[in-house]
Copies of this chain bind each other. A is one copy, B any other.
Amino acid sequence: MSGLTVAVAEEPPGERRVALVPESVRRLTGSGLQVIVPPGAGAGAWISDAAFSEAGARILAAPEAYAAADVVLAVAPPAPSLVAALRAGQALVGMLQPLTSPDLVRQLAQRGITAVSLDGLPRTLSRAQAMDALTSQASVAGYRAVIEAAHAYGRYFPLLITAAGTAKPAETLVLGAGVAGLQAMATARRLGAVVRGYDIRPETRQEVASLGAEFLELQSVRSGSGEGGYARMLDESELAAQQAELDGHIARHDVVITTAQVPGRRPPLLVRRTAVERMRAGSVIVDMAASAHGGNVEGSVAGQTVVTGNGVTVIGADDLASRTAGSASAAYSRNVTALLLHLLRDGALAVDLTDEVQAGVVVTHGGEVVHPAAAARLAGQSTEGAAR
């Protein structure tokens, strides 16, 4: 076994996570791979170069690291400088968001790079669970959303009974009972808040209840379960009825955390301005879906915290996992390591699109966009372009 060489990417500015932590470096070198880490790559997650060295990694400046690598492991979609540094035949593994980044996908294909994106992992496949970075990062983000909310909120989360009287618990509403939402509910419950959860998928009721949260029953929406563990898109009349009913619930909560995402699409608007305006001064909203493509909360801005005229703090939380970079990196590192080892045959990367895991994650290979959904999105983009 000649030993595949893996380089850790320098992440773009603002991204504190790192693709490998020393524990995984040990696992990879133990499997016969070489690992190269650029100096300072782990700084955002408080991992020193010395810690990587001790685990068996070589510390080498990013250009040399990328030049020497067969595979580059990243977290965030690559900066242009990283894409430019790669050559045909190399592989890039990360959370590349291929469905919302068609230009990147086209570029990677044209340059002959094998792009592997953990976003595409089949989440319902049990043997892929150890590789499921979307889940691990959503879990960190859900935890972090509550820490951010508690930090922004000017009152106790728990009920406290003292000599000076009783402090009421924070009434917390979490919209969306996926991984992030459930972790947010669990964390808010831990902190002592009264927690209510809502999801259009009624089968999440048991999970919500198991965390000690109350499942919010809306009368106006029928089941909204979709494929792959996500919610389906609701139609317009359903959305309107849901929102009208939700408005009343939102107004009586102190903390609202929204987590509703539909892969590759604009997130649904769940908290309208009219609902925000009915909330009490001092209330806090964390919009976990905030992005350049919009969010769940009208008026939220990705990467910013805004305070409305009526005193509601709206956190456009697009980097929550990165803000808890230690835990997020540790989990991601295990995910990407498991996936990388799954992709190897006889010590070399072996693309095999008949494998269900690979079919989900391999986006480009041999100069082609091999992932059907990414290819469809690219084709759609061309059509849109032609229609303009």
Contacts and interface: CB of A to CB of B under 8 A. Distances in A.
Nearest to A128: B163
Interface of A: 16, 45-48, 129-130, 132, 135-136, 139-140, 143, 147-148, 150-151, 153-156, 158, 160, 162-165, 167, 187, 190-192, 280-282, 311, 323-327, 330-331, 334-335, 338
Contacts of A160: 139
Contacts of A130: 163-164
Contact of A158 (B167, B190, B334): B190
A51 to B, nearest CB: 8
B281 A155 contact: no
A140 B156 contact: yes
A334 B165 contact: yes
B48 A165 contact: no
A25 to B, nearest CB: 15
Given A48-B281, A154-B16, A154-B46, A162 B191 contact: no
Contact of A327 (B129, B154, B323): B154
Contact of A190 (B191, B327, B338): B191
A177 B327 CA distance: 29
9 contacts: A129-B164, A130-B163, A139-B160, A143-B156, A151-B151, A164-B335, A164-B338, A167-B327, A191-B191
Given A156-B324, A327-B154, A163 B132 contact: yes
Contact of A150 (B45, B139, B147): B147
Given A147-B151, A154-B326, A154-B327, 9 more contacts: A48-B311, A135-B162, A136-B162, A143-B158, A148-B151, A155-B326, A156-B327, A167-B330, A190-B190
A147 B18 CA distance: 25
A331 B162 CA distance: 9
A132 B326 CA distance: 40
Contacts of A46: 154, 280-282, 311
Contact of A331 (B164, B280, B325): B164
A191 to B, nearest CB: 6
B281 A47 contact: yes
B331 A167 contact: yes
A265 B299 CA distance: 49
Nearest first, the 8 A-B pairs at minimum CB distance are: A46-B282, A154-B326, A129-B163, A155-B326, A46-B281, A155-B327, A164-B334, A156-B327
A359 B155 CA distance: 33
A232 B281 CA distance: 43
A281 B52 CA distance: 13
Contacts of A330: 155, 165, 167
Contacts of A143: 156, 158
Nearest to A280: B46
Contacts of A45: 154, 282
